[in-house]
């Protein structure tokens, strides 16, 4: 991978210009991402670092369930919310996501999101920024036409 491509990847994923600026979790994610870019034969010859061995992606333990959101969909929804959240720590943002689901969709846990709800939830999450902005007051005076 070219250095410029690596720097773009760091910035796009983590808003960091150097891997030195990453948290431990981000660094582990970066290593996993880079490892997954290796060709299949190289991945087999060079197993993932021990720190990653046995590590699973969030919600992966759920597997595919009939009528329920996939682990990939759950990660996508949570990531979309976390990106827009104003919380300081990741745990606070994840708790805010659970609270958002309770308040707006009467769902207590992300694992209980049904597949047909994913689109509505994503739409609500992506419109959080718009809903948070104050609306301009509309004038109550009638429009006049110039003649």
The model scores a pTM over 0.75: no
Contact at 8 Å (CB) between 127 and 121?
no
Contact at 8 Å (CB) between 52 and 97?
no
Contacts of 16 (CB under 8 A, 6+ apart): 10, 22, 26
Contact at 8 Å (CB) between 77 and 110?
yes
Mean pLDDT of 72-101: 88
Half-sphere exposure at residue 72, Cβ-oriented, CA atoms within 13 angstroms: 1
Question: How far is Cα 144 from Cα 53, in angstroms, rounded to an integer?
Answer: 71
Assign 68 to helix, strand or coil: strand
When computed from its CA atoms, the radius of gyration of the chain, rounded to whole angstroms, is 21
Per domain, the residue ranges of the chain are 1-55, 59-133
Tens digits of residue pLDDT in 7-49? 888 888 888 889 888 887 788 888 888 887 888 888 777 777 6
Question: Which has more pLDDT, 53 or 118?
Answer: 118
Between the alpha carbon of residue 102 and those of residues 46, 71, 108, 109, the distances in Å are 43, 19, 5, 8
Q: Which single residue is written with the structure tokens 């805010």?
A: 96
pLDDT at position 94 is 86
């Amino acid at each position: 991978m070219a250095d410029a491509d690596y720097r773009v990847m760091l910035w796009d994923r983590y808003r960091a210009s150097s891997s030195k600026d990453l948290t431990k979790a981000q660094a582990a994610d970066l290593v996993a991402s880079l490892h997954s870019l290796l060709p299949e034969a190289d991945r087999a010859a060079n197993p993932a670092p021990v720190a990653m061995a046995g590590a699973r992606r969030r919600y992966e333990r759920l597997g595919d369930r009939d009528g329920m959101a996939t682990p990939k969909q759950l990660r996508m929804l949570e990531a979309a919310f976390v990106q827009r959240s104003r919380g300081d720590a990741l745990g606070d943002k994840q708790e805010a996501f659970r609270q958002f689901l309770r308040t707006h969709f009467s769902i207590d846990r992300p694992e209980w999101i049904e597949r047909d709800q994913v689109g509505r939830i994503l739409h609500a999450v992506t419109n959080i920024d718009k809903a948070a902005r104050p609306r301009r007051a509309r004038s109550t005076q009638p429009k006049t036409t110039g003649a």
